[in-house]
């Protein structure tokens, strides 16, 4: 297992895992604890993204990262829509530690930049390139996209918050909660 714990102090990020609270599209906490992990390859790219955001007065706020396979099944049972939730039979890049959901915040105040929709807004309004959001939100999404792609990440066109390693399927295994010393699942 090559998962690395992502802490606020070690990575200079904010960690606010939506699935560790009821503040997500299911309305229920999925994770027992808000521990954040990524594959070591993903963590290396995250470090680069943090370095690109910092001179701009910005920080990254992580909304989801490694998602145990058991969590992917719970999300799929709640919303079996492959446009927004990876089919757990195929495997999610999140369950490989190869994907991270995040947004940008102002480093000085912690205020999130306006992205036009919230996290896990399952509508075309959340797609990269949507012109139905304000020009300011479009700029902020483009800024996040620029930072993350310059750091080496791929993106998912239907979710402005989702970034992942290129072609993770077949390169990284799907992992369950059992690989963690301190399980995340409820």
Provide the number of structural domains found in the chain: 1
At 176, the pLDDT band (50, 70, 90 cuts) reads very high
Mean pLDDT of 30-55: 98
- Based on its alpha-carbon atoms, the radius of gyration of the chain, rounded to whole angstroms, reads 15
Collect all residues with Cβ–Cβ distance below 8 Å to 169 and sequence separation of at least 6: 90, 91, 93, 96
Which among 5, 8, 106, 159 is annotated as catalytic? 159
Per-residue model confidence as pLDDT tens digits over 108-126: 999 999 999 999 999 999 9
Mean pLDDT of 140-154: 98
Please state which of the ranges 59-68, 117-126, 163-172, 177-186 shows the lowest mean pLDDT.
177-186
Q: What is the pLDDT of residue 1?
A: 59
Specify whether 159 is catalytic: yes
Q: Is residue 32 part of a domain?
A: yes
Q: Which of 73, 62, 69 is nearest to 15 (CA)?
A: 62
Mean pLDDT of 35-56: 98
Domain that residue 161 falls in: 3-179
Q: Is residue 78 part of a domain?
A: yes
Residue 55 CA to residue 52 CA, distance in Å, equals: 7
Q: Is residue 186 part of a domain?
A: no
Q: Would you say residue 82 has pLDDT above 80? A: yes
Q: Is residue 12 part of a domain?
A: yes
* Residue % of the chain over a pLDDT of 70: 99
| The model's pTM | 0.97
Q: Is residue 184 part of a domain?
A: no
Per-residue model confidence as pLDDT tens digits over 1-28: 599 999 999 999 999 999 999 999 999 9
- Domain of 12: which CATH number? 3.30.1380.10
Q: What is the pLDDT of residue 186?
A: 74
Q: Is residue 124 part of a domain?
A: yes
């Amino acid at each position: 297992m090559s998962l690395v714990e992502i802490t606020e102090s070690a990575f200079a990020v904010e960690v606010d895992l939506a699935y560790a609270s009821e503040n997500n599209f299911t309305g229920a906490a999925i994770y027992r604890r808000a521990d954040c992990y990524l594959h070591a390859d993903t963590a290396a790219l995250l470090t680069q993204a943090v370095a690109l955001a910092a001179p701009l007065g910005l920080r990254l706020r992580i909304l989801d990262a490694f998602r145990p396979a058991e969590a992917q099944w719970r999300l799929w049972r709640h919303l079996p829509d492959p446009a927004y939730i990876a089919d757990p039979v195929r495997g999610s890049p999140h369950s490989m530690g190869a994907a991270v959901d995040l947004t940008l915040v102002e480093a000085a105040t912690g205020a999130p930049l306006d992205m036009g929709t919230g996290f896990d807004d399952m509508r075309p309004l959340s797609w990269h390139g949507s012109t139905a959001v304000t020009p300011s939100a479009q700029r902020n999404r483009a800024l996040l996209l620029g930072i993350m792609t310059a750091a080496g990440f791929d993106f998912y066109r239907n979710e402005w918050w989702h970034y992942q390693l290129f072609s993770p399927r077949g390169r990284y295994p799907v992992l369950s909660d059992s690989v963690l010393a301190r399980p995340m699942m409820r």
